[in-house]
């Protein structure tokens, strides 16, 4: 099965991608993983991407697409894959469709993790990170025994800038600008299915797997 997983920051894409890929015995392919593998491996594409990153510039779409093409050409992706973080916009979706056409295949399904903005803010703005060991706690879902102090090492807990409410809401605005057209694109293709991403992780996974089972049947 060839899947794409989309959803806003804080929807739990990384966690669900891992569970779903494991259930289906297909590789989870994220742009972050691809970038790290190419950069650490010193591939020509990795060296090119590092030049942009070292200058503080965004890596151009064509470099990202070339990395995705290489990854989808590997043996373990021939029977299926789950893409997390790509495509991010309609132009990338069109490139992916053309790429898969060249491979003689196509996407089977696009799963959209659906969660409202206030829930995303509640999830992300409650995170607190330890300055010493880096462990992440949550004021509501996984609080430390003593507020502001890490249970693991006794270090001070702080709120990262990207976990502040105003930053989160800006990220959600950017997501909507880029991804609302992407969701519409896949809806028009007839392969988009929404999954309610509220509630415990296990329940969200069960909902996603129920969708996949219906589709497979």
**Active-site residue list:** 13, 88, 127, 160, 171
Contact 178/7 with Cβ under 8 angstroms?
A: no
Question: Rounded to whole angstroms, how far apart are CA atoms 125 and 165?
Answer: 6
Pairing verdict, β 28-30 and 127-130: unpaired
CA distance 74 to 27: 10
Can you tell me the distance from the alpha carbon of 31 to that of 86, in angstroms, rounded to the nearest whole number?
A: 6
Strand partners of residue 128: 137
């Amino acid at each position: 099965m060839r899947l794409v997983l989309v959803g806003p920051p804080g929807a739990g894409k990384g966690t669900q991608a891992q569970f779903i890929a494991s259930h289906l015995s297909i590789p989870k392919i994220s742009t972050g993983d691809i970038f790290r593998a190419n950069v650490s491996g010193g591939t020509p594409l990795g060296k090119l991407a590092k030049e942009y990153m070292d200058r503080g510039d965004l890596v151009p779409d064509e470099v990202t697409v070339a990395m995705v093409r290489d990854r989808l050409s590997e043996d373990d992706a021939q029977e299926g894959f789950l893409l997390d973080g790509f495509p991010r916009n309609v132009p990338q979706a069109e490139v992916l469709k053309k790429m898969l056409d060249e491979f003689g295949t196509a996407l089977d399904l696009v799963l959209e993790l659906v969660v409202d903005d206030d829930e995303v803010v509640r999830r992300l703005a409650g995170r607190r990170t330890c300055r010493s060991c880096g462990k992440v706690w949550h004021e509501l879902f996984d609080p430390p025994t003593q507020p502001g102090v890490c249970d693991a090492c006794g270090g001070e807990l702080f709120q990262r800038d990207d976990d502040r409410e105003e930053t989160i809401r800006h990220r959600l605005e950017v997501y909507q600008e880029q991804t609302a057209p992407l969701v519409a694109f896949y809806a028009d293709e007839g392969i988009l299915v929404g999954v309610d991403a509220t509630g415990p992780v296990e329940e969200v996974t069960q909902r996603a797997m129920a969708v996949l089972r219906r589709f497979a049947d």
